Amino acid sequence: MTLKLPVLTESFDNARVHDVVERCDHPMVEAFADHWRDRCGGSSIPDRADLQIEGLAPWFGHVIIMDVVDGGADFRYRLIGTRITEFLGRDYTGHTVTESNYSGAQEKVLDTFRRPVTEGGPVFRQGCVAWSRDRSWRTYASVHCPLTAGKSEIAMTIGVLYFGLDPVTGPDGSRRFYLG
């Protein structure tokens, strides 16, 4: 499957290029957003109790769950799917975003998890990233959605993240990203 990369209208940082998009080309990402919407019931945001582990089976390995820390000032990795940790070559489970090393992209990572909290709904991202173990550029597609705790305030985000299997040419015209 080939993802359509967004047209870049601003500069990218050293680690990745990403854009928030209205909808996503990846069928598993779209299916997850539909699953989240189905769990809303009569409210605008589902509660974490509305999502059963068995219902997440189609996305095992790609699920990422974050706890909201200090109203969205930071986020703690509660669960990171094995496919994600294998791709990245690291596992930040239990750590906050600010404790994690993102090579200058920390604010963009925080934005990824903050938007669903501030917007109150699914946020799709699609683009190109050089976070793979071999530093090759890969496409990615994700959705991140808010969850309440006890039907009150937003306490978590849940989403899925998929990476392209084959290297692509990055926004700098290279096939690999080198820190220099």
**Measured between alpha carbons, how far is residue 20 from residues 100, 115, 126, 140, 143 in Å?**
22, 10, 7, 12, 10
- Per residue in 126-154, pLDDT tens? 988 877 678 888 899 999 999 999 888 99
pTM of the model: 0.85
**Pairwise pLDDT comparison (130 vs 48), residue with the higher score:** 48
- Range with the poorest average pLDDT among 64-68, 117-121, 175-179: 175-179
Give the pLDDT of residue 42: 84
- Per residue in 68-125, pLDDT tens? 999 999 999 999 999 999 988 889 999 999 998 776 778 888 999 999 999 999 999 9
pLDDT band at 63 (very low <50, low <70, confident <90, very high): very high
